[in-house]
Amino acid sequence: MHHEIIGTPLQLPNGNTLPLSRAVKAGDFLFLSGQLGVDDNFNLADGIFEQTRLCINNMLGILEAANMNLNNVIKTTVWLTDANYFADFNQVYAELFPRNTPPARSTVCSALAISGALVEIEAIAFSKD
């Protein structure tokens, strides 16, 4: 099956390029790598509310590059660094995802590779052209 890389390579502030794709389109599916609550300069937002909002906005930017939106997301996997963030995370998630068709979701607690990151979200989207 042919696949297409979506988005530019992810480069850290120190100039290193990460060995991953922001997203890969394969057939009608788009697989998004885990998104963090960082801005274009890789600065983390403050707190779980803002990091969650920025994670989802970063996802939306990638989806739009593939001519999709949040309605196309069918599955997310979420990592939180602390179970105490769950309610606040869920509040923002519910605000931004379609209420009548939310994606399937798994949420786990785990340390994250980027110091200070509180949440990471990866997604699978589907679009029948």
Is 107 among the domain residues? yes
Q: Which pLDDT belongs to residue 12?
A: 77
20 has a pLDDT exceeding 80: yes
Residue 104 is part of which domain span? 3-8+18-126
Distance (Å, rounded) from C-alpha 39 to C-alpha 85?
21
User: For residue 1, what pLDDT is reported?
Assistant: 63
How many domains does one find in the chain? 1
Of all residues in the chain, the percent with pLDDT exceeding 90 is 74
Q: What is the pLDDT of residues 72-128, one digit of tens each?
A: 999 999 999 999 999 999 999 999 997 888 999 999 999 998 899 999 999 999 997
Asked if residue 13 is part of any domain, the answer here is no
The mean per-residue pLDDT over the stretch 10-33 comes to 89
Q: Determine if the pTM surpasses 0.85.
A: yes
CATH of the domain at 57: 3.30.1330.40
